[in-house]
């Protein structure tokens, strides 16, 4: 037999149990300073006991606020953007906000303008752009969004709030690590240069390699996928002059290691390989991958803190770049002939 689901506790039940008015409960839920500390604590205890959850629609009507963040993604297939979105969702939930996300490329081929309209029609109080391409950021510059806009990118921007993982520092750590091992000829396998993160890494790579007096070598532009890294490495029919590859992400590094292995080129004995991201499985590559670890949890938390401050009219937290960490594993070693 079908059973009737239990009725959800409502604000009047909370008020009755706590011995206060529904208005007082509402003030507690909205963090009003007009409630005495003892009363606030008693109401919060009853809310916990009853498992009361305020109706988001009713709350929005009462406060004229949706407490909703819009996240516009330029891609949802890569590890970095997906991890960033997950971290923003967690931080938003902890702050009492919800997140609505949409992908420019994958959601019915929507344009940036259509994507922004879709999110603002849902009453988002702020917009966050994750994993942006320069083309999408340029398009959004032309739109009067009407709410605070934060772009996850390394460079400052007069039009937007910005937060980022320190892409420049991560690249310096990778190049310095290989230089300290004795490498003087490194190939950079970059991500698509329309991606702002890929461009930031590419610029930092050239500058740092030049400062070490390394050989000037054109970069190879990839597409972030392990398939690209594999196909690139498979075309190396002979051992190249360069002794190390700095891949723009771990997925391309994985493909490179696979392709080199099939060509009989050993990692790291013949060529060292360094990645960027520290995928959960990077420690299980053969050999385990030396890489740059990005703290996506801290990135999402910082982005949410900045957005919440902007929404609530508080001082914006000082812009900081999230630090990175070099993780040294077995895929990097001194160059061939130096051991």
Q: How confident is the model at residue 60 (pLDDT cuts 50, 70, 90)?
A: very low
CATH number of the domain bearing residue 142: 3.40.50.2300
- Segment among 89-103, 109-123, 234-248, 260-274 with least mean pLDDT: 109-123
Q: What is the pLDDT of residue 4?
A: 47
Does 106 have pLDDT greater than 70? no
Rounded Cα gap, residues 320 and 323, in angstroms = 9
**High-pLDDT (> 70) share of the chain, %:** 91
* pLDDT tens column, 24-49: 887 787 777 788 889 989 988 988 88
Q: How confident is the model at residue 7 (pLDDT cuts 50, 70, 90)?
A: low
Task: Please give, one letter per residue, the 3-state secondary structure of the chain.
Answer: CCCCCCCCCCHHHHHHHHCCCHHHHHHHHCCCCCCCHHHHHHHHHHHHHHCCCCCHHHHHHHHCCCCEEEEEECCCCCHHHHHHHHHHHHHHHHCCCEEEEEECCCCCCCCHHHHHHHHHCCCCCEEEEECCEHHHHHHHHCCCCCCCEEEECCCCCCCCEEEEECHHHHHHHHHHHHHHHCCCCEEEEECCCCEHHHHHHHHHHHHHHHHCCCCCCCCEECCCCHHHHHHHHHCCCCCCCCCEEEECCHHHHHHHHHHHHHCCCCCCCCCEEECCECCCCHHHCCCCCEEEEECHHHHHHHHHHHHHHHHCCCCCCCCCEECEEEECCCCCCCCCCCC
Domain count of the chain? Answer: 3
Residue 331 in any domain: the answer is no
Residue 216 in any domain: the answer is yes
Does 107 have pLDDT greater than 70? no
- Segment among 24-33, 89-98, 218-227, 247-256 with least mean pLDDT: 24-33
Return the top range by mean pLDDT from 86-100, 154-168, 228-242.
Answer: 228-242
Looking at the fold, whether 188 and 263 belong to one and the same domain comes out as yes
Looking at the fold, whether 222 and 77 belong to one and the same domain comes out as no
Q: What is the pLDDT of residue 76?
A: 63
Q: What is the pLDDT of residue 63?
A: 47
Pick the residue with more confidence: 181 or 109? 181
- Cβ atoms of 71 and 101 within 8 Å: the answer is yes
* pLDDT tens column, 190-214: 999 999 999 999 999 999 999 999 9
Q: How confident is the model at residue 114 (pLDDT cuts 50, 70, 90)?
A: confident
- Cβ atoms of 127 and 143 within 8 Å: the answer is no
* pLDDT tens column, 136-154: 888 888 888 888 999 998 8
Tell how strand 291-294 and strand 324-327 pair up.
Answer: antiparallel
Instruction: State which residues form the domain around 116.
Output: 68-164+296-321
Q: What is the pLDDT of residue 270?
A: 97
Looking at the fold, whether 246 and 260 belong to one and the same domain comes out as yes
CATH number of the domain bearing residue 58: 1.10.260.40
CA 288 from chain centre, in angstroms, equals: 24
Does 108 have pLDDT greater than 60? no
- Segment among 21-35, 88-102, 216-230, 254-268 with least mean pLDDT: 21-35
- CA-based Rg of the chain, rounded to a whole angstrom? 25
* pLDDT tens column, 275-329: 999 999 999 999 999 999 999 999 999 999 999 999 988 888 766 789 999 999 9
Does 74 have pLDDT greater than 90? no
- Put simply, whether the predicted model's pTM sits higher than 0.75 gets the answer yes
Of 12, 8, 30, nearest to 20 by C-alpha is: 12
Looking at the fold, whether 141 and 180 belong to one and the same domain comes out as no
Q: How confident is the model at residue 96 (pLDDT cuts 50, 70, 90)?
A: confident
Residue 2 in any domain: the answer is no
Looking at the fold, whether 59 and 73 belong to one and the same domain comes out as no
Q: What is the pLDDT of residue 326?
A: 98
**High-pLDDT (> 90) share of the chain, %:** 56
Residue 334 in any domain: the answer is no
Looking at the fold, whether 147 and 261 belong to one and the same domain comes out as no
Looking at the fold, whether 52 and 134 belong to one and the same domain comes out as no
CA distances from 80 to 118, 277, 334 (A): 24, 7, 29
Looking at the fold, whether 147 and 57 belong to one and the same domain comes out as no
């Amino acid at each position: 037999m079908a059973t009737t689901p239990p009725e959800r506790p409502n604000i009047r039940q909370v008020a009755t149990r706590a011995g206060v008015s529904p208005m007082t409960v509402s003030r507690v839920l909205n963090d009003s300073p007009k409630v005495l500390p003892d009363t606030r604590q008693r109401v919060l205890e009853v809310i916990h006991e009853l498992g009361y959850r305020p109706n988001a629609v009713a709350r929005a009507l009462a406060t004229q606020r949706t407490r909703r963040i819009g996240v516009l993604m330029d891609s949802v297939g890569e590890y970095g953007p997906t991890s960033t979105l997950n971290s923003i969702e967690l931080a938003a939930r902890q702050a009492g906000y919800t997140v609505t996300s949409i992908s420019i490329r994958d959601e019915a081929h929507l344009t940036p303008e259509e994507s922004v309209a879709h999110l603002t029609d849902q009453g988002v109080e702020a917009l966050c752009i994750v994993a942006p391409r320069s083309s999408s950021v340029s398009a959004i510059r032309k739109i009067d969004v009407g709410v605070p806009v934060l772009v996850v990118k390394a460079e400052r921007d007069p039009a937007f709030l910005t937060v980022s993982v320190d892409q420049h520092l991560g690249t310096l750590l990778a190049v310095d690590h290989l230089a300290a091992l004795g490498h003087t000829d490194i190939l950079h396998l970059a991500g698509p240069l329309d991606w702002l993160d890929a461009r930031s890494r590419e610029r930092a790579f050239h500058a740092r390699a030049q400062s070490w007096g390394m050989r000037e070598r054109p970069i190879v532009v990839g597409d972030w996928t392990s398939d690209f890294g594999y196909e690139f490495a498979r075309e190396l029919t002979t051992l190249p002059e360069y002794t190390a590859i700095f891949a723009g992400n771990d997925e391309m590094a994985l493909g490179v290691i696979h392709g080199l292995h099939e060509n009989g080129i050993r990692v790291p004995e013949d060529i060292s390989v360094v990645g960027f991201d520290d995928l959960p499985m990077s420690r299980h590559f053969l050999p385990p991958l030396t890489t740059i670890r990005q703290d996506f949890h801290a990135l999402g938390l910082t982005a949410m803190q900045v957005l919440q401050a902007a929404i609530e009219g508080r001082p914006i937290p000082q812009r900081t770049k999230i630090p990175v960490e070099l993780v040294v594993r077995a895929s990097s070693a001194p160059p061939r002939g130096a051991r």
